[in-house]
Amino acid sequence: MRYLAIIEYVGTNYAGWQIQKDEVTIQAEVEKVLSRILNTPTKVYASGRTDAGVHALGQTFHFDTIKKLDLDKFTYSVNSLLPSDMRVINIVEKREDFHARYSVKSKRYDYLINTGEYNPFERDLVYQFQRKLDLNKIKEALDALVGEHCFKNFTSKLEDDSNYVRKIYEASLTTEGDVIRISFVGSGFMRYMMRMIVGCLIEIGLGKMSVMELKIYLVETHRKIVPYKAPACGLYLMELTY
Amino acid sequence: MRYLAIIEYVGTNYAGWQIQKDEVTIQAEVEKVLSRILNTPTKVYASGRTDAGVHALGQTFHFDTIKKLDLDKFTYSVNSLLPSDMRVINIVEKREDFHARYSVKSKRYDYLINTGEYNPFERDLVYQFQRKLDLNKIKEALDALVGEHCFKNFTSKLEDDSNYVRKIYEASLTTEGDVIRISFVGSGFMRYMMRMIVGCLIEIGLGKMSVMELKIYLVETHRKIVPYKAPACGLYLMELTY
């Protein structure tokens, strides 16, 4: 049996999703709990990694088991053993050709920026930028980012033969008081891509970079990686669609 | 010169406000920073203690210095040295007969309860109760609490000759989605008083305690301390008036 789980977590205390030697990771915590409840070593396959400090409201992973699970009871057991900074929201049965990563149609990431006074209660949950930004300029840049682009300059990925083309379906900005929410829906996001895009958007909002310069990074044939990367704490993996 | 400061802090990582040997406390952090900037050992006097895990949005303290301070610059320096989970909001000059504790006219405390799904992002900021409560019953209890009462059964204070009478000016309940905010304005609050009151309100909201039983605790002449105490993480010292 193959199952798909939706999980939310506070990334602050973890070295990211993916298992790494000598590091506390979300995947390691989840596999430990599943293996214990299912009474056999159990691996999980996520929609993708999230980096250290990045949060998720709708990360997904699949796992296999020979057991037919009572999903309400099983979810309850998993949550009672998981650390208090993560929670499985839902688990559903899937066909065996379903894959949490390869079956993804689109991903949504949000980034939160506080442009107002420093807020100690949200210091790990919202980037405490504390300066005003020109939202119209940022919106103009968001419009320029929608569509299919080569994001070679917006990732730390090394392989020169990789496919760096990704499609952005939606890019929007909303405000909640002094907090700006920047939301992207796209076909996929490479490592640091969201944080480098937001890094540029902040420079644009400060008037230190033009939308034209952003466009040049998108078409530059020689690799010239953007020198801006917004901190992990403001980033949320919101939703996967399959 | 005497100065009054307003400070907000996340209580989670501290053994409360008051300095204690071998414990990390908010007062200790504040005194360390002030002593360093003023270049002389400096003591601070708060409006009152907050317990381990209790938060503040408007705690106040006063301190004395022979220097005439440039308040904007001084506040900035203090905040740049304080830990990231606290922030001085404002500092004003006061007459030398002003006292952060003895001059207080009223205090406001709020308590936050999440009656919906467990929220890992707010696990230290809102009590994750995760059960529905009868809000009308709680409102009825709040009305019964307004006025002058003997709160001898709502504190751990030991001295039998203490004055246990406190006046509650306002007691209200509002909701923000699944989160209930219970707000009290009163002349003063003894140790655990808010948490014991909220402990009773939760029992009342569950239908396990009647408003009449609450009233009996308020008039009981023999001491019979309430056996309920809501966790520290939901409690906020909101505001002092002078």
Residue B129 in tokens: 């109760």
Instruction: List, as one string, the DSSP characters of A72-101.
Output: HHHHHHHHHHS-TTEEEEEEEEE-TT--TT
Q: H-helix or E-strand containing B44?
A: none
* Mean pLDDT value across residues B115-137: 97
CB B109 within 8 A of CB B28: no
Cβ <8 Å between B123 and A84 = yes
Assess whether pLDDT exceeds 90 at residue A115: yes
pLDDT range class, residue A109, cuts 50, 70, 90:
very high
List C-alpha distances in Å: A150 to A164, A226, A228: 5, 13, 17
The complex's ipTM?
0.90
pLDDT range class, residue A161, cuts 50, 70, 90:
low
Cβ <8 Å between A120 and B9 = yes
Strand-pairing partners, residue A176, are: A179
Neighboring chain B residues of A55 at a CB cutoff of 8 Å: 121
How far is A75 from A87, CA to CA, in rounded Å?
9
Distance from CA of A118 to the nearest CA of B (A): 8
Mean pLDDT score of chain B: 96
Find the closest chain A residue to B86 by CA distance. Answer: A120
Q: Tell which A residues from 23 to 62 touch B, by Cβ distance under 8 Å.
A: 55
| pLDDT attached to residue B126 | 98
Cβ <8 Å between B87 and A118 = yes
Q: Give the residue numbers of A annotated as catalytic, written as ranges.
A: 51
Terminal alpha carbon distance of chain B: 19
| pLDDT attached to residue B159 | 66
Cβ <8 Å between A123 and B86 = no
Looking at the partner chain, which of B84, B120, B125 has a beta carbon nearest the beta carbon of A85? B120
| Residues found in chain A | 242
The distance from CA A213 to its chain's CA centroid, rounded to whole angstroms, is 25
| pLDDT attached to residue A141 | 98
Nearest to A89 by CA among B235, B6, B119: B119
A177 touches chain B (CB under 8 A): no
Distance from CA of B52 to the nearest CA of A (A): 16
| Residue whose structure tokens are 């907000």 | B8
| pLDDT attached to residue A160 | 63
A123 touches chain B (CB under 8 A): yes
Query: Model confidence over B137-190: pLDDT tens digits?
Result: 999 999 999 999 999 999 987 766 678 999 999 999 999 999 999 999 999 999
Nearest to A149 by CA among A108, A184, A111, A109: A184
Query: Model confidence over B204-225: pLDDT tens digits?
Result: 999 999 999 999 999 877 888 9
Cβ <8 Å between B120 and A79 = no
Cβ <8 Å between B10 and A121 = yes
> Torsion-angle region of residue A192: left (phi > 0), alpha (psi -120 to 50) or beta?
left
B51 included as an active-site residue: yes
